[in-house]
Amino acid sequence: MNTTAPIADFDAPATPASAPAPTSLASSADRLGTSAAQERTAVLEELIRTDPGRFRVLTGDRPTGRLHLGHYFGTLHNRVRLQNLGVELFVIIADYQVLTDREVADNLTTHVEELVLDHLAIGVDPARSTIFTHSAVPALNQLLLPFLSLVSVAELHRNPTVKDEISHSRQSAVSGLMFTYPVHQAADILFCKANLVPVGQDQLPHLELTRTVARRFNDRYGNGSTVFPRPDALLSAAPLLLGTDGTKMSKSRGNALALAADADETARLIKGAKTDAERHITYDPATRPEVSSLLLLAALCQGRTPEQVAADIGSAGAAALKRTVTEAVNEHLAPIRARRSVYAQDRAQLRRILREGNERANAVADATLAEVRAAMNSDY
Ligand code: TRP
């Protein structure tokens, strides 16, 4: 892999000579409204099909435990799709984003290994794609300092996702790490000059900030050249899957179907899933959310529409629906689970894969930091 190959910021307008000072407010070019991002996503998908080699994707997760079917149909399978289309893929395990969560911090190694296993299981190929952790890549973290100098405290206060997370957090005090994590996330994306970030809507503010940081860095230190491309958001249409209790599927609610669960556990969980009293099965997310979510899950597994699944079940009732869903999920996950158990049996190999991913990420990060030092006149 050529670690220093520049990746084109293909939609970057030439920076006018009268560019605003780097400390000014975010420019409208950094803005990522949902509908604009949706339109842009359609264009990007076409470009990915015709020329996947121009893209480098960076995406990732916090290591908070086993991933579930909501994650899988929301984001994970999209990563494998992009990889298999020929896009270069970096997956970050954001272990510095979970430091303040005590329960997670106490079991960090296990959580990280589970996350690597989940990715290998779904088909992320460690020979082509890079899976790595924050904490193993010093040069990535060092980018945080110059990046922090480009962002104002007021801007950090305005970030709606951080506001939301702070209001939901169990912590009594907000740490400096929590407050600045969107800037850290900009370093996650920019260290490898990723130009494409598949995200859900909630992460759009972070991507907007990343674009702002990239632009300000280029303006202040680039000397007319583009050090960092401004990454695009690839919005995925994440289907909303409900958990077995009828609320959003989430590990912390204990209502999730884990990718790693075995067939019997899956059957048991689906059997206990909430439905309604209406015997005739129809797809109507507004009035029958639980039944509709189960139909959607079966449909996603079978590559059909939820309406087709509903029509097949007809008046056979909730028990038949659950049998269908169980079979669909277990069939779809069988090869994924088989691959997972092969990797899970060889911890030494698992650790080697992560170490190699970290080595690759370090090579890329070192090259970028060298460039940053040169641009900032701190190349001693
Ligand atoms: N904040 C993301 C989440 O909670 C995880 C993450 C960390 C990430 N760094 C990233 C996602 C960079 C995309 C790009 O899921």
pLDDT in tens, 32-69: 788 888 888 899 999 999 999 999 999 999 999 889 99
Residue 255 included in any domain: no
Q: How many CB atoms lie within 10 A of CB 225?
A: 10
Q: Which helix (H) or strand (E) holds 306?
A: helix 306-313
Examine the domain organization and report whether 368 and 336 are in the same domain: no
Cα(22)–Cα(215) distance, rounded to whole angstroms? 8
The number of domains in the chain is: 2
Examine the domain organization and report whether 315 and 366 are in the same domain: no
pLDDT at res. 4: 40
Atom of ligand 1 at shortest range from CA of 97:
7
At how many degrees (to 10) do helices 347-375 and 204-221 cross? 40
Which domain, by its residues, includes 325? Answer: 263-341
pLDDT at res. 27: 67
Examine the domain organization and report whether 305 and 275 are in the same domain: yes
Q: Is 192 in the pocket of ligand 1 (CB under 6 A)?
A: no
Residue 52 included in any domain: yes
Residue 4 included in any domain: no
Show the low-confidence residues of the chain (pLDDT under 50): 1-25
Examine the domain organization and report whether 356 and 232 are in the same domain: yes
Residue 363 included in any domain: yes
Q: Is 91 in the pocket of ligand 1 (CB under 6 A)?
A: no
Residue 43 included in any domain: yes
Contact yes or no for 55/195 (Cβ under 8 A): yes
Residue 258 included in any domain: no
Examine the domain organization and report whether 162 and 228 are in the same domain: yes
Examine the domain organization and report whether 159 and 289 are in the same domain: no
Residue 249 included in any domain: no
Q: How far is CA 68 from CA 120, 163, 249, 253, 352, in A?
A: 14, 26, 8, 12, 25
Q: Which helix (H) or strand (E) holds 235?
A: strand 232-235
Residue 256 included in any domain: no
**Domain with 284 in it: what CATH number?**
1.10.240.10
Please return the burial class of 255, using the count of CB atoms within 10 Å of its CB with bins 0-12, 13-18 and 19+.
Answer: buried
pLDDT at res. 292: 96
Examine the domain organization and report whether 274 and 360 are in the same domain: no
Examine the domain organization and report whether 56 and 182 are in the same domain: yes
Q: How far is the CA of 184 from the centre of ligand 1 (A)?
A: 10
Examine the domain organization and report whether 287 and 143 are in the same domain: no
Examine the domain organization and report whether 42 and 186 are in the same domain: yes
Examine the domain organization and report whether 162 and 304 are in the same domain: no
pLDDT at res. 105: 84
Examine the domain organization and report whether 353 and 334 are in the same domain: no
| Substitution candidate for ligand 1 out of 135, 185, 211 with most atoms within 8 A of CB | 185
The model carries a pTM of: 0.90
**Domain with 357 in it: what CATH number?**
3.40.50.620
Q: How far is the CA of 314 from the centre of ligand 1 (A)?
A: 41
pLDDT at res. 170: 67
Contact yes or no for 175/96 (Cβ under 8 A): no
Q: How far is CA 302 from CA 239, 264, 295, 325, in A?
A: 15, 19, 11, 10
Q: How far is CA 134 from CA 98, 138, 142, 183, in A?
A: 11, 8, 11, 13
